[in-house]
Amino acid sequence: MRWLLKFWDSTVGKKVVMGVTGIGLMAFLLVHMAGNLQMFLGADAMRRYAELLRTSEELLWVARLGLIGMAVLHIVAALQLTAINAKARPEGYARKVPQVSTLASRTMRLGGILLAAFIVYHLGHLTLGWFHPALVHLQPYGNVIIGFRSPLVVAFYVVAMFFLGLHLFHGAWAGFRTLGLAKRSAEPLQRAFALWFAVIVSAGFALIPIAVYLGILA
Ligand code: HEM
C-alpha cells in the first residue's frame, strides 16, 4: 500500500496514472461512438443496444463505477501535475515562443475543462433528462432526435467534439510516450495512430447531432 502512495506522490506516477486511465477512457469512447452509430440502423437497433447494456444492472454499475474512477483519477492527476508545474516556474516566461507545441497540446487544459462541462451537461441531457424536453427511459432513438432539435445544443455538441478530437490527439500521443510505448518524440507510427483515433472518434460522435440537424436522422 505504501509503495502505491509513494508511486502516486511522484510526478512519473501521476503521469502513468494519466496514461493508463486515458487508455481506459479511450476504449469507452470507441465503444460508445460505435454504439451511437447504430442510430443509422434505426430505432429498433438502438433500443436493442440500450437493453443489451442493461442485461445485468450489477455489471452496468461495475462499468459505471470503473468509468467514474478512471475519470476522477485522470482529472485529479492532471490538476496536481498542473500545480507542480506552476510551483516549479511561478514567474512564467518573459517571452513565450512555442517551439514544438501544437494547437492540441496548448489547449489540453482548456479542452479538459470544456470536456468536463460537456460530460455534466451530456449526462443531464441524454441520461438523466434534466436538460431534455421529453426523455423516455429505454427509447434512445427518440431521445436523441428530440434532444438535438435545438441548433444551440447541436452547436455545443459539435464544438465539444472538436475539443475532444484535439484532446485525444495530444493525449493519446503523450500517453504513449509516458508509458514507453513510443520512444522518440516524433515517432511517426504512434502520431498517426493518435491522429486517426482522434479524427474517427470525434467525427463519429459529431455525425449524430449533425445528421439530426440536417434531417438525415428523423
Ligand atoms: C454526439 C455525441 C454523443 C451522443 C449522440 C451520445 C449519446 C448518448 C446516449 C443516447 C446516452 C444514453 C444511453 C442510454 O441511457 O441508453 C449516452 C450516455 C452516456 N454518454 Fe454519450 N453520447 C455522445 C458523446 C459522448 C461523449 C463524448 C462522452 C464522454 C466524453 C459520453 C459519455 C457518456 C456517458 C458516461 C453516458 C452514461 C452511460 C451510463 O452510465 O448509462 N458521450 N450518450
Dump pLDDT digits (tens) for 123-167: 999 999 999 999 999 999 999 999 999 999 999 999 999 999 999
- Which residue among 37, 39, 120, 122 is best mutated to probe the pocket of ligand 1, counting the most ligand atoms within 8 A of its Cβ? 122
The atom number, within ligand 1, closest to the CA of 67 reads 35
The atom number, within ligand 1, closest to the CA of 206 reads 1
pTM score, two decimals? 0.90
pLDDT for the residue numbered 204: 98
User: 79 and 16 in contact (C-beta within 8 Å)?
Assistant: no
Residue 218 belongs to a domain: no
Residue 62 belongs to a domain: yes
Residue 23 belongs to a domain: yes
Between the CA of 216 and the centroid of ligand 1 the distance, in Å, is 20
Distance CA(218)–CA(204), nearest Å, equals 18
Between the CA of 187 and the centroid of ligand 1 the distance, in Å, is 33
CATH of the domain at 19: 1.20.1300.10
Confidence of residue 188 (pLDDT cuts 50, 70, 90): low
pLDDT for the residue numbered 108: 83
Give me the number of domains the chain comprises: 1
Rg (CA), the chain: 19
Between the CA of 77 and the centroid of ligand 1 the distance, in Å, is 24
In the DSSP assignment, the letter for residue 132 is -
In this prediction, what percent of the chain has a pLDDT beyond 70?
A: 90
Angle at 100 between CA 190 and CA 112, to 5 degrees: 70
Residue 107 belongs to a domain: yes
Name which of 147, 126, 140 is nearest 48 in CA terms.
140
* Chain mean pLDDT for the chain: 89
The mean pLDDT value for 57-83 works out to 94
In the DSSP assignment, the letter for residue 179 is T
Between the CA of 126 and the centroid of ligand 1 the distance, in Å, is 7
Domain around 35: 2-213
Over 80: is that where the pLDDT of 97 sits?
Answer: no
pLDDT in tens, 4-57: 999 999 999 999 999 999 999 999 999 999 999 999 999 999 999 999 999 999
The mean pLDDT value for 203-215 works out to 98
Confidence of residue 218 (pLDDT cuts 50, 70, 90): very high
| Residues found in the chain | 218
Residue 82 belongs to a domain: yes
Confidence of residue 115 (pLDDT cuts 50, 70, 90): very high
Residue whose Cα lies nearest atom 30 of ligand 1: it is 119
